[in-house]
């Protein structure tokens, strides 16, 4: 059966196409709103992100234990959103803010690039170009980027935390990397699993290419 006449595949193709253009719109809006203050006459530039606040004398918080057989220890980590407004880019930029902007925007572009490559692969399949070597290259690139994305996002967050520490103070608290981006809590594993699965699909795809070549030579 031809791929183009497969209704399920048609729906998947148009969904991926819609996803790519929606992703493109999201990135453009994000790039504009993440660094500008359109409705504030006092500021022209803004840099924003997430941080965690930890009490300098960090001690367990008293909690009510519901199970009489257990004892509970609770350490409170306060996460929050912080925005720094500046009159111009000259005041906003230092080593940490530049690196934060660089890595954060790289993370956004990497996600958009994945959407774009998936769109091109599905478009090739939709046009019945089922087995092409360049599709395997694109999928390898997508898998590699997916595995690398959480590392880039984590680096961006680390630089934002350093930037916040030099521009922001909260009495009695220390500014730390957001709890959601700590080494133990950040979701590296899902990205790694998805990347490995795509590499496995590529090998299946290559085997299909080999079988098709043998069939064409036999005919």
Instruction: Give residue limits of the domains in the chain.
Output: 3-57+76-218
Top-confidence residue, 151 or 69: 151
The pLDDT tens digits of the residues spanning 62-78 come to 777 777 777 777 777 78
As a whole-number percent, the residues of the chain with pLDDT over 70 amount to: 82
Find all residues with CB under 8 Å of 182, minimum gap 6, and list them: none
- Convert 152-169 to b/e letters by CB count within 10 Å (16 or more is b): bbbbbbbbbbbbbeebee
- Best-predicted range by mean pLDDT (21-30, 75-84, 204-213): 21-30
């Amino acid at each position: 059966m031809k791929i183009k006449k497969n209704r399920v595949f048609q729906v998947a193709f148009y969904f991926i196409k819609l996803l790519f253009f929606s992703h493109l719109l999201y990135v453009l809006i994000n790039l504009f709103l993440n660094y500008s203050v359109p409705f504030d006459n006092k500021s022209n530039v803004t840099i924003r992100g997430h941080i965690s606040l930890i009490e300098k004398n960090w001690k367990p918080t008293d909690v009510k234990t519901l199970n009489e057989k257990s004892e509970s220890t609770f350490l409170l980590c306060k996460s929050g959103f912080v925005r720094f407004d500046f009159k111009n880019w000259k005041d906003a930029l230092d080593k940490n803010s530049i690196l934060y902007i660089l890595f954060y925007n790289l993370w956004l572009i990497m996600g958009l690039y994945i959407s774009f490559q998936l769109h091109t692969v599905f478009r090739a399949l939709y046009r019945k170009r089922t087995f092409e070597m360049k599709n395997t290259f694109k999928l390898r690139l997508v898998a590699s980027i997916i595995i690398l994305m959480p590392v880039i996002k984590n680096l961006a967050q680390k630089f934002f935390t350093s930037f916040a520490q030099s521009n922001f103070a909260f009495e009695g608290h220390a500014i730390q990397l957001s709890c959601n981006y700590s080494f133990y809590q950040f979701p590296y594993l899902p990205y790694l699993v998805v990347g490995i699965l795509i590499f496995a699909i590529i090998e299946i795809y290559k085997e299909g290419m080999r079988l098709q070549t043998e069939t064409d030579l036999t005919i």
